[in-house]
Amino acid sequence: MMLKRLYSEFKPALVLTLIVVAAAMLLIIMERGMQTDETVLSGTLKDKCLELMGEGEYEIVLDWLESGYEIEKPGSVSKFIINLDTGQVAFQVITKGYNKDGLNMLIVMNEDGSVKDLAVVQNTETPRIGTKVNERSFLENFIGSSSEVRIVRGSPRNDAEVAAITGATMSARAVADAVNIATRTYASLFLGGEAHSDSSQSGSNLVRNLFIILIVCVLTENLVLSQFLGVCPFLGVSKKTSSSLGMGLMITFVMVCASILTYPIYFFILAPLNIEFMNTIAFILIIALFVQLTEMVLKKHLPSLNKSLGIYLPLMTTNCAILAVTIMNVTSDFGFIDALFNALFAGLGFLLVMLIFSGVRARTERCDIPITLRGMPITLISAGIISLSFIGFAGMVEGIFGI
């Protein structure tokens, strides 16, 4: 009886898993069939290589999987390029600026480990402000650099500092990050220096980074109010404080548990197999697993809460806020500890907004609202006003930490 009941409980998840696995295999076969020769330069990258290193036979080295450099995410080396005729070495580096897609840089190195030349391959920053980092007058500040470069506001005090661009400090810092990554990588490969920095940090830096993540997740880039993710349960379950608290805690729990599994699965399975495009399907399956377990526990121990959450509990399987956090953890420059706290703080930010909004809705229900605004209209207006109030936290990270 026990096995039969367990089978009936997990049957939908098993069927979904089989369907997804079959679809995944089909996608992998199709993707492999459409692959091109990635060792051949093409497009804008080829043009930039010819511009900076001249004519010649180029080779893209793609055997960096063991070092972790092949993973294309902000804050990493994407390609290692060699001009076979001249022996010049260049790195294509992707860094995160103001825009989440960041900057795509090509950096040519000298034999002594200093920067010989550099150019922007692709810039997704704010037009006319963030694109100022493309200007040659700014990029020339990094030529000759062989050690860590910092972006500073005001006049540089030494060769290791470069003046920020007014209104584009984060974009300028993305260029500096690309240069620093390139010099560290070159040193680790050819000069016997330390390898590309990983998630290991000093205690003070770790606490600082976690505090920044806390402020960003809860206040300045709240999932609901800033990124408009998880709006479905935000509007549907926030009528009562008890249901808001339950949904907020459930989403926080699933976010953290899913992040514990999705992070290593991405970096130790999907990335080495070069099937990172499968991350959404894989992550949804993991999220579905924890949602199913959560629903089973609530049905048995908290049936009243399970009933109050209604259809929104199983819908957590495809909740865009949970999926967004798991994807953000692997596409941002996060270590494992940072990813776990990012999930925790994002969930707490969601919980905070749910509780605030449930209080606001309770007040509006007791007020004499014009008949044309009752129901969803006043709910959306209230949500908009709360969202506007959180704009007041913008700039906290830059103001406190000077970044």
Instruction: Give the separation between CA 236 and CA 318, rounded to whole angstroms.
Output: 15
Q: 212-234, pLDDT tens digit by residue? A: 888 888 988 888 988 888 888 88
CA distance 113 to 285: 45
Cα distance between residue 161 and residue 220, in whole Å = 28
pLDDT at 392: 82
Q: Answer for the pair 386, 356: CB distance below 8 angstroms, yes or no.
A: yes
Spatial contact of 291 and 254, defined as CB atoms under 8 Å apart: yes
Q: Is residue 69's pLDDT more than 80?
A: no
Cβ atoms within 10 Å of 51's Cβ, excluding its own: 11
Paired with 106 in beta bridges are 92, 119
Q: What pTM does this model have?
A: 0.59
Question: pLDDT tens for residues 82-138?
Answer: 887 788 888 888 887 766 666 888 999 998 889 999 998 888 766 767 778 888 888
Amino acid in the structure at residue 88: Q
Amino acid at 39: T
pLDDT band for position 168 (cuts 50, 70, 90): confident
Mean per-residue pLDDT, 261-280: 87
Q: Are 286 and 267 in contact (CB under 8 A)?
A: no
The torsion angles phi and psi of 79, rounded to 5 degrees, stand at -140, 150
Own/partner pairs, 49-53, CB within 8 angstroms, 24+ separation: 49/81, 49/83, 49/90, 49/106, 51/119, 52/90, 52/106, 52/108, 52/116, 52/117, 52/118, 52/119, 53/83, 53/86, 53/88, 53/90, 53/108, 53/117
